[in-house]
Structure 1
Amino acid sequence: MVLNSSFARVGWRRAHRLLTSRAVTALTVPHGVDRYLGLINPLWSVNEVRAAVVAVAHHTPATVTLTLRPNGNWNGARAGQYVRFAVEIDGVRRTRCFSLAGSEHRTDGLIEITAKVNPTGTVSAYLKRNARPGQIVALSQAEGEFVLPAALPEHILLISGGSGITPVMSILRTLTDRRYTGRITFLHYATGPEDVVYRDELAALAAANPLLTLAPAYPRLPGTGRLRGRFDREHLLEIAPDYAEALCYACGPASLLDAVGALWWAEEIGDRLRIERFATPAPPTGAGDATGEVRFGRSGVSTPGDGRTLLEQAEAAGLRPEYGCRMGICHTCTSVKSSGSVRNVLNGTITAEPGERIQLCINAPCGDVELDI
């Protein structure tokens, strides 16, 4: 919580004890302490990480970059991690996962995210059109294991495609701030030079560091870029023939990551590969039992089961449960299942425990199910 008045003088711990005391909790029912703190300063919160947008940049036509100043609840991040980012759109809080792009050694307290805009999407398109300095958003603490080891190897290989450059850029910026003395090889795949978000910065970093090799590739534009065509082993042999000895970080579209993973595992060097995926396999349509009834208890709504995920069936019934990634990553759509059995459409696991919390986006009903929605 950012406190710049009397709270700052008495100290965060004393203020937190006061604000979370039974007396204050009782006085602020039913809205809670944060609702009243927000009337004074929208960044103030007892526990939630909130952040103010301090800058908005449009480096390419299809991206938007936000620089954010989080409040004092922010615990910091390691290079390569991501946050769950929440913004209110038309009265509904929408959540998406975004990788952090900045160095973990940044000293001004600011963090940076870059979103690739999906023209038919909700959050990214909203941010492209409407993000402004001073806007307040909510964040989770940083998450993810796509991070650097404590002991750095002599050679780090970075492979990214499209918007997958963001966590890889965080790693590169961090290595630069650490004055890393090993080799860095960076292969980046994009539709064209104008679509590379950090193109000018990458060129400047490469010019300043003789141990950094930058190899852009534009598969759709033959004759451009340093590499030709889509990723393959020949690219590695041309740029980094000792790639098998490097520690590799890869992030980008599924086709790129599948090709990278297949090569590393075929050569039995998978233990030296770190992959960050922005998507999981899409839940199959008809993944559940197309019989029975789905009841939404608090809403008093029922609908025949049709085999789709519970999130899809709730929306089809006219409800608006909160959701974020729609693929089982962010947990925004987690709700209580009062009764019935559901099947996880990603791994096939069936659970029937009453009162359990489930993710609506990756669970489909098996027969009659009731949800506390």
Structure 2
Amino acid sequence: MDCMTRLNPLARLASVFTTPHAPEDFLRLVNPLSSARQLRGIVTRVDRETPDSATIHFRPGRGWHAHEAGQWARIGVDIDGVRQWRSYSLTTAGGEDPAITVTAIGAISEALVHRTEPGDVLFLSPPQGDFVLPEHPRPLLMLTAGSGLTPVMSMVRTLVRRRSDADVELVHSARTRETALFRDELEELAGLDHGLTVHHWITGERGRRFDLTSTDDLDATVPDWRERATYVCGPTEMIDDAEALWRAAEVESRLVIERFAPITLPGSGGDGGRVVFEKSDKEVDADGATTLLDAGEDAGVIMPSGCRMGICQSCLVPLQAGRVRDLRTGEVHGDEGQLIQTCVSTAAGDVYLDV
């Protein structure tokens, strides 16, 4: 008889005294990581990166698995009594204790950067994502801008400290040297001859961003870019330009991208309408450009979410009635009971959701 079997009678006995609560609900008061219902993490350290960004280290509870370099996780925080979720890239080396680096843009990121302290509890989902290092060693090019550096930083930390055959060219765009994330660490790593070359492209000094509408900047900065596996993470315009350029150069198969926003069609918003959240007993008027996910969160509804890009399927909610428009395709659809991706759907008339 294994240990779990021996403990079951004790758990059943304990439940007699804790009903209607589960025994772990009381254990959580002593150890906040003990919950079997919701994965949590304890903040262990907060490092200030810039005046408006911070790296938050945390110790996850059971249910977490070691992340691969480049992956992300959903992070939940309670704001004004409502649990809000956002997805953040994990910035420590693959397999190491996790951390996220957050820039204070939006209510959740503002709270994380300016109000998080050691000992605080974060709500978590396990690491996920396919923006990861190639299986076999090869020369790499990393093109990033702003917070797009965060998943790539995990890759850099994984490679240059563990692989003697690392060959990484990193081109990072930032507005100023002071706001360039990880600038000192990157320059230090590059100076140690660990196979890393860093090109900081400061738009405030150059007057423009690194240009991917032609090959001029690439040819001047990384002449062998066509032979490298390339990872791109940053603003949508930057990613779109990279896709077009690599396609024109017939090396699109060597391009790996990470988007922080869904691909949507121009002018593909729905007509808008009243969105009713049945279980939450709330409703709100939403225009044709506001996703059902954003509409729910703005109304104080605890909405399931994940990548917020239409990829991970974590935001699925049953449709009770009404029609919605998919921002990626412009298609209007809606059958009773159909699961709707709320992060990429808008109201095409009145909508009733089972949440």
TM-score after normalising by structure 1? 0.81
Aligned to 2:335: 353
Closer/same/farther in 2, CA of residues 309 and 164 from structure 1, 3 Å limit: closer
Closer/same/farther in 2, CA of residues 62 and 352 from structure 1, 3 Å limit: same
Letter in 2 for 1:242: D
Question: What secondary structure sits across from 2:184 in the alignment?
Answer: helix
Closer/same/farther in 2, CA of residues 319 and 239 from structure 1, 3 Å limit: closer
Aligned to 2:354: 372
Matches within 5 A, 1:162-311: 162-209=146-193, 211-222=195-206, 230-232=210-212, 233-281=215-263, 287-289=269-271, 294-299=275-280, 307=288, 309-311=291-293
Aligned to 1:133: 118
Closer/same/farther in 2, CA of residues 210 and 132 from structure 1, 3 Å limit: closer
Letter in 1 for 2:142: L
Deviation at residue 246 of structure 1 after TM alignment:
0.7
State whether residues 33 and 40 of structure 2, in contact with CA within 8 Å, keep that contact through their aligned partners in structure 1: yes
Give the Cα separation in 1 of the matches to 2:41 and 2:135.
Answer: 29
Deviation at residue 182 of structure 1 after TM alignment:
3.8
1:146 paired to 2:121: no
Aligned to 2:30: 40
Deviation at residue 229 of structure 1 after TM alignment:
5.2
Give the Cα separation in 2 of the matches to 1:351 and 1:33.
Answer: 44
Closer/same/farther in 2, CA of residues 357 and 209 from structure 1, 3 Å limit: same
Aligned to 1:116: 103
Give the Cα separation in 1 of the matches to 2:194 and 2:296.
Answer: 55
Closer/same/farther in 2, CA of residues 331 and 158 from structure 1, 3 Å limit: same
Question: What secondary structure sits across from 1:192 in the alignment?
Answer: coil
Deviation string 1:198-243 (CA, Å, 9 cap, x unpaired) is 11111111111263211111122139xxxx8523423322232111
State whether residues 103 and 177 of structure 1, in contact with CA within 8 Å, keep that contact through their aligned partners in structure 2: no
Closer/same/farther in 2, CA of residues 134 and 269 from structure 1, 3 Å limit: same
- Computed over aligned residues only, the root mean square deviation of the Cα atoms, in angstroms, reads 3.3
Letter in 2 for 1:159: L
Deviation at residue 338 of structure 1 after TM alignment:
2.0
Closer/same/farther in 2, CA of residues 62 and 281 from structure 1, 3 Å limit: farther
Deviation at residue 319 of structure 1 after TM alignment:
5.2
Letter in 2 for 1:174: T
State whether residues 297 and 303 of structure 2, in contact with CA within 8 Å, keep that contact through their aligned partners in structure 1: no
Any stretches of 5+ residues in structure 2 without a counterpart?
A: none
Closer/same/farther in 2, CA of residues 60 and 21 from structure 1, 3 Å limit: same
Q: Greater CA deviation, 81-90 or 256-265?
A: 256-265
TM-score after normalising by structure 2? 0.85
Letter in 1 for 2:154: S
Letter in 1 for 2:65: N
Letter in 2 for 1:129: H
Paired residue for 2:63, among 52, 68, 73? 73
Deviation string 1:108-163 (CA, Å, 9 cap, x unpaired) is xx211101111xx111111122100010111111111111122121x111111111
Question: What secondary structure sits across from 1:167 in the alignment?
Answer: helix
Paired residue for 1:342, among 321, 324, 340? 324
Give the Cα separation in 2 of the matches to 1:156 and 1:323.
Answer: 35
Question: What secondary structure sits across from 2:27 in the alignment?
Answer: helix
Deviation at residue 283 of structure 1 after TM alignment:
8.1
Give the Cα separation in 1 of the matches to 2:117 and 2:281.
Answer: 39
Q: May I ask how many residue pairs the two structures share in their alignment?
A: 350
Question: What secondary structure sits across from 1:58 in the alignment?
Answer: strand
Give the Cα separation in 2 of the matches to 1:353 and 1:25.
Answer: 42
Question: What secondary structure sits across from 2:253 in the alignment?
Answer: helix
1:87 paired to 2:100: no
